[in-house]
Structure 1
Amino acid sequence: MSSLTEAVLAGAGPDELRGEEVPDEYLAAHLRKEDVDIFAGVEDKDVRKSLHVGMVPMPELAPDEVLVAVMASSVNYNSVWSAMFEPLPTFGFLERFAREGGYAARHDRPQHVIGSDASGVIVRVGSGTRRWQVGDHVVVSPIQADDQEPMTHSDGVLGTGQRAWGFETNFGGLAHYTVVRASQLLPKPAHLTWEEAAVNLLTAGTAYRMLISDRGARIKLGDIVLIWGAAGGLGAYAVQLVKNAGGIPVGVVGSEEKGELVRALGCDVVVNREEIGLGGDPTPEETITLGKRLGRIIRKETGEDPHVVFDFVGRATFGISVFVVRRGGTVVTCGSSTGYQHQYDNRYLWMNLKRIVGSHAANLQEMAECNRLFGLGKLLPALSETYALDDAGTAIRLVQRNQHVGKVGVLCLAPHEGLGVTDPELRASIGEKRIGVLRKPARTAL
């Protein structure tokens, strides 16, 4: 363990942190370029075979960047894609980024450190950093935007220089240290532990933009919102956002156990996929049949068709989403975990004046508004369980096989759960049971 790491774990102040040397290498969950073809012809692309945890070289810090000692991180579906080398090996992203030259060239390495969430302590700031100091407790937005691009100043996510940190860039969050731009940082909610704070921004920020932002569905008081995968990371935050906004969340889940969990989050109506017979890849005819079944259930429970459908599942559900949303309603999508090629009957879209809104992550202001809701205790972390960094491959495998609920956390430098709370009064007022509504006991292996 380096002296800087020891100082971080001891809770050292800014002066002491500045006085310790940055190590030449650090522990990280990473992929290796030499492995990109290991799953050729293999049906079960087990991410535990491609994900390595070991030492990697410490990169140089650019003027607009900070070095964060990562206390905790989490698993997102982009980590599954990365470790499967699908739909494309991420090393191609790193190579293209590196062609910009300058500090971007650092990203093209034989190892790709992945991970797009983190909470931790700033231990170094670049010479161009103004708003952050060594010793600050932070959480990290997954979006890197190019502040020299005009479009970024309208909407950071629309800029062509926007990249997903830890997926389209190197030096991600599943590690003891990470390099991020200062424009990715937000203050850590003081009442949350490191692991609770680390699981929120990517998925909650994405759900915020999809549902609340004026660039998404813009839900309002009383809106009925159908949420596919309501017990997953995105879905668990979508349920809370709809409920907080005065809407009526209708969640689709895969089991009764998951149904109980989303009810605890505030879901008004819960539909088990088995109730409508959804499984696999429905044909166009089956899509209409399934949509009618789902529509009848929603109308029985709420009296109306949904105003909005929240869909990140993709191919298996998208045709149903377009069919079931009400006349003039909106389907908002941010992903396609079951496949990117969607089929739907366009008559139900154009003749009923429905809209499809594409959404990707969130800009920094949207992330900040979402993070504020966590700071106020209005949103609760969707953390269900944690793994040690050494078991990151097992944690990613759990998500790959959809054997999880909510978000799966990874302890990086934090030696155990429960650390990092600096506002115990707020935490007590919210309540441990409510904050840990999705929690399972800590474990290190399946």
Structure 2
Amino acid sequence: MNTTFRALMGACAFAALATAATSETITVATVNNGDMIRMQGLMEDFYAKHPDIQVEWVTLEENVLRQRVTQDVATKGGQFDVMTIGTYEVPIWGERGWLVSLDDLPAEYDVDDILPAIRGGLTVDGHLYAAPFYGESSMVMYRTDLMEAAGLEMPDAPTWDFIKQAAAAMTDKDNEVYGICLRGKAGWGENMAFLSAMANSYGAKWFDMDWKPQFDSEAWAATLNDYLDLMTNYGPPGASGNGFNENLALFQTGKCGMWIDATVAASFVTNPNDSQVADKVGFALAPDNGLGKRGNWLWAWNLGIPAGTKNEAAAKTFVEWATSKDYTALVASKEGWANVPPGTRTSLYENPEYQKVPFAQMTLESINAADPQNPTVDEVPYVGVQFVAIPEFQGIGTAVGQQFSAALAGQVTAEQALKNAQMLTEREMMKAGYIK
């Protein structure tokens, strides 16, 4: 009996060693947003299905993630096997051959189920170069109780004038309630994501048809001055350091009357486990100025595989799992339908259970309202709503964002920030050969 037991134990130990010896480890770089953190807590499902693959996570703040993955993919550094990247990077990197094509995903993955607006931004010459983990636009999230107390009613499609009126009415600084919270942290995907989308609704644009920067326009002056007025008079202190996560925390703790930001935030502000105001939140489309464009963006956080990874097959297996219909169902079973990654699949918005989620329809309408091919009131030579889809934009957008963040902090005037933005953008566009 003892001999048999020892033999069995030996066989088990040998099998465990063999599995360890043959398993692959992939490194996944991701952003420290709530949906990605949630995924890390659901990895038992992945390991049960794929015991031969281990995952190491590198979880970073948004601006840092962008710097790290851009440097790694451009230099073929090989630090990461899967990268969390945005709608901005995918077409540029795909065209340069920096990403592995995902055209060979299995039929059951159902690529055709991906929302056309999202899939289009991840496709180059008919080839899919990343799989969307979640998609988003932006919208107004607001405190229904404070709106009612102010004697106002939020329209489904508000104007910026109404937003200004409501921000003033809901501000109660003595009780640390601020009428509006907006991004102030510098970065092309932080404050400039919001301000570029806002500028579109004001008739502003980054460049004219000859690629000449337009920060010296009246429309940009109106955009920045209104933003600064809102944030200076009705925003929280220290707003120049606030990005998505900081404003999310402020809203969840009852300190914001309104927050205009990513639609993906809706599940976190209405989750009673996370939000103190979960039962007092309403939603509306991003504001406009009557010019035919709303101040909403279009974005997806996607999983892409850098070309040259030594673990391509394992990386594809992980990407398929994390962005599949089965993963959506897994989150729904553990966390409820309101907390599944939104904005990627047609089938999700056709699901009767998901249609009961209070923000589902507004999210879909916001995504469909964004038009990356025609983002501005006037014709422009670029695509992209809250970014300009050229390689140089990453550096230019962040530099401009620093100027506008400095204006919010009171370090420079709005006029000086716009003048600096015009000068630095002209210099970089001349250096890159767009203008002479």
TM-score normalised according to structure 2 size:
0.24
> Which protein has the bigger strand share?
1
TM-score (norm 1): 0.24
Mark the structure with the bigger radius of gyration. Answer: 2
Higher share of residues assigned helix:
2
